[in-house]
């Protein structure tokens, strides 16, 4: 049993400055939540020793990332690519949010260099896809020196850019022309657990083809026209279309657990990768998601890079706590946070709140705007830290009503003190981008330590066998 009084101080992740963040002098918060009195780092591995261990955590030497990428690419067929071919390496803005983004950057650089060595091709371009914030790819290009890495052949790929029609069995769907304007494409993504409410670990490897690589019309088809299970048909239809298959060469994924980066997956066939990432997700995130379901009252502090839903705490995104009361690995469960599931729930489903009722209050120390998230402010009390955060929220065109549902505190300690009084709890959890440990108050750490053994038993004996059987896998063979 862990001793709460002996837990170490938390180490929050690096925050990248952005035009989408508060206009403070540095672009960063005045104080990090990890520095608040009584905050500790609760090691994930101590709670669940069987969570896959990391080969890289933030701040480490990047050599293991390069080595893992080289090993993963060793068995990949690159024969499609000729010396005179043009190739687009397709990346995601979210990959550059994982532990400061440098592991993803190193993986991308290694892919480029190995393709050049093995094929003789030098016309290799980089495309950076974005979810909502149109200027973020430009910030990424500058921050990570990607123009220098690719000799200037780097470009954002925006969902409002010129389209290319892709014929599928359900009609024409719209891809982004910049994604497909090369002879061949290399699909470079990441396998940590985000967007679970949308993909449910079904065709997870293909989801970017209907989101990151698609125009907004097709993204809307995925989000709004189909339910949370049938929507997974869209990326697969696009990926398997003759147009995409003629260009597709191979996929590479940065695989992660709550501990950090655990390896690199690569292959010409995405389905085996899909299976491996699914099993990794069950083993890595199944227990911590269920542990978050054991939180019955808490204050959440946003203190990292990006939007709240995808901000990481303990190696797991806030979106997983938002719906922790729902087992989203269970395909019998209908999620409710986004798109169809929120606005058009099946009549047989009970009426649910868009935010886990265990979240009694939120403190926004640092986050980025540009993504719809008004439900957070309307579902529970929200406290912004500093006038700069209030100005940021007030001018956010994606959440024009949010400023009417919040209060502002002068400092982080004042905001947390107020939130704890309103929420009537001393359990605090912080989403500060950290992997390997949960930044939380001693009261919450004590509660999670006590609940972890029962959570471990329940997931292993009851929940995981069901998840596997639902996907046609024999638990005795899969694990």
Question: Whole-angstrom Cα distance, residue 415 to residue 297?
Answer: 17
Question: Whole-angstrom Cα distance, residue 475 to residue 465?
Answer: 5
Domain boundaries, the chain: 4-50+286-463, 63-281
Task: Answer yes or no: are the C-beta atoms of 419 and 18 closer than 8 Å.
Answer: no
Instruction: Please give the structure tokens belonging to residue 314.
Output: 């303990």
Question: What confidence score (pLDDT) does residue 208 get?
Answer: 95
Question: What confidence score (pLDDT) does residue 350 get?
Answer: 55
DSSP state of 129: E
Question: What confidence score (pLDDT) does residue 220 get?
Answer: 82
Instruction: Please give the structure tokens belonging to residue 143.
Output: 């921050």
Instruction: Please give the structure tokens belonging to residue 120.
Output: 């003789």
Beta strands in 335-470 (DSSP E): 359-366, 382-385, 406-409, 428-431, 437-441
> Which residues fall within 8 angstroms of residue 460, CB to CB, at 6 or more apart?
none
Q: List pLDDT tens digits, range 288-344.
A: 999 999 999 999 999 999 999 999 999 999 999 998 988 999 988 877 655 545 555
Question: Whole-angstrom Cα distance, residue 311 to residue 253?
Answer: 20
Characterize the bridge pairing of strands 359-366 and 298-303: parallel
Question: Whole-angstrom Cα distance, residue 364 to residue 293?
Answer: 22
H helices of 120-254, in order, are: 136-143, 146-149, 177-180, 196-199, 216-220, 233-239, 242-247
Instruction: Please give the structure tokens belonging to residue 45.
Output: 């591995």
User: Taking the C-alpha atoms of 106, 215, 208 and 132 in order, what is their torsion angle to the nearest 10 degrees?
Assistant: 60
Task: Answer yes or no: are the C-beta atoms of 32 and 432 closer than 8 Å.
Answer: yes
Task: Answer yes or no: are the C-beta atoms of 304 and 12 closer than 8 Å.
Answer: yes
Backbone angles phi, psi at 300, to 5 degrees: -105, 135
Question: Whole-angstrom Cα distance, residue 19 to residue 48?
Answer: 38
The fold adopted by the segment(s) 63-281 is: Rossmann fold (3.40.50)
3-state secondary structure (DSSP) of residue 323: coil
Task: Answer yes or no: are the C-beta atoms of 130 and 140 closer than 8 Å.
Answer: no
Can you spell out the DSSP letters for 374-406?
HHHHHHS-EEEESHHHHHHHHT-TTSTTGGGGE
Residue 87: its H or E element: strand 86-92
The distance in angstroms from the start CA to the end CA of the chain is 27
> Which residues fall within 8 angstroms of residue 347, CB to CB, at 6 or more apart?
none
3-state secondary structure (DSSP) of residue 73: helix
3-state secondary structure (DSSP) of residue 270: helix
Question: Whole-angstrom Cα distance, residue 201 to residue 349?
Answer: 21
Positive or negative torsion for Cα 207, 208, 212, 214: negative
The residue assigned the tokens 């497909």 is 180
Residues facing residue 167 across a β-bridge? 172
Residue 206 to residues 188, 264, 456, Cα–Cα distance (Å): 11, 17, 30
Question: What confidence score (pLDDT) does residue 232 get?
Answer: 83
Residues facing residue 429 across a β-bridge? 300, 440
Which residues in the chain land under pLDDT 70? Answer: 224-225, 227-229, 336-353, 478-479
Task: Answer yes or no: are the C-beta atoms of 175 and 149 closer than 8 Å.
Answer: no
3-state secondary structure (DSSP) of residue 54: coil
Question: Whole-angstrom Cα distance, residue 27 to residue 16?
Answer: 8
Question: Whole-angstrom Cα distance, residue 39 to residue 263?
Answer: 30
The residue assigned the tokens 């997931």 is 459
Beta strands in 277-336 (DSSP E): 298-303, 312-313, 316-317
Can you count the helices (H) and strands (E) in the chain?
19, 17
């Amino acid at each position: 049993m862990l001793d709460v009084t002996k837990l170490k101080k938390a180490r929050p992740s690096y925050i990248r400055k952005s035009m989408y963040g508060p206009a403070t002098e540095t672009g960063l918060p005045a104080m990090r939540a990890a520095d608040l009195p009584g905050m500790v780092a609760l090691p994930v591995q101590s709670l669940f020793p069987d969570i896959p261990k990391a080969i890289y955590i933030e701040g480490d030497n990047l050599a293991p990332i390069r080595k893992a990428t080289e090993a993963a690419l060793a068995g990949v067929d690159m024969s499609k690519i000729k010396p005179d071919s043009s190739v687009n390496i397709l990346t995601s803005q979210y990959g550059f949010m994982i532990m400061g983004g440098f592991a993803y950057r190193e993986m991308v650089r290694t892919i480029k260099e190995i393709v050049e060595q093995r094929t003789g091709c030098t016309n290799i371009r980089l495309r950076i896809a974005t979810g909502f914030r149109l200027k973020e790819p430009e910030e990424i290009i500058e921050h990570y020196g990607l123009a220098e890495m690719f000799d200037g052949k780097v470009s954002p790929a925006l969902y409002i850019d010129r389209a290319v029609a892709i014929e599928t069995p359900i009609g024409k769907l719209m891809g982004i022309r910049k994604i497909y304007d090369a002879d061949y494409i290399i699909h470079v993504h990441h396998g940590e657990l985000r967007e679970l409410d949308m993909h449910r670990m079904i065709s997870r490897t293909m989801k970017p083809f209907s989101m990151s690589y698609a125009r907004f019309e097709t993204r809307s088809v995925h989000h709004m026209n189909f339910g949370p299970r049938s929507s997974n048909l869209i990326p697969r239809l696009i990926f398997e279309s003759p147009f995409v298959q003629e260009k597709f060469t191979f996929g590479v994924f940065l695989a992660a657990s709550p501990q950090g980066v655990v390896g690199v997956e690569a292959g010409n066939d995405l389905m085996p990768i899909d299976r491996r990432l699914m099993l990794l997700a069950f083993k890595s995130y199944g227990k911590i998601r269920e542990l978050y379901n054991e939180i019955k009252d808490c204050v959440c502090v946003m203190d990292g890079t990006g939007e709240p839903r995808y901000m990481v705490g303990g190696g797991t995104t806030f979106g997983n706590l938002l719906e922790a009361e729902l087992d989203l690995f269970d395909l019998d469960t209908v999620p409710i946070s986004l798109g169809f599931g929120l606005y058009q729930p099946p009549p047989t489903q009970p009426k649910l709140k868009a935010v886990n009722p265990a979240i009694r209050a939120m403190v926004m120390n640092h986050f980025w705007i540009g993504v719809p998230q008004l439900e957070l402010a309307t579902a529970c009390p929200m406290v912004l830290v500093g006038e700069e955060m209030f100005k940021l929220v007030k001018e956010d065109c994606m959440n024009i009503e949010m400023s009417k549902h919040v209060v502002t505190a002068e400092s982080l300690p004042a905001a947390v003190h107020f939130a704890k009084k309103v929420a009537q709890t001393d359990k605090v959890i912080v989403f500060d981008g950290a992997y390997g440990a949960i930044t939380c108050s001693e009261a919450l750490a004590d509660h999670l330590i006590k609940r972890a053994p029962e959570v471990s038993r329940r997931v292993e004996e009851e929940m995981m066998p069901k998840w596997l059987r639902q996907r046609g896998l024999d638990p005795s063979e899969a694990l």
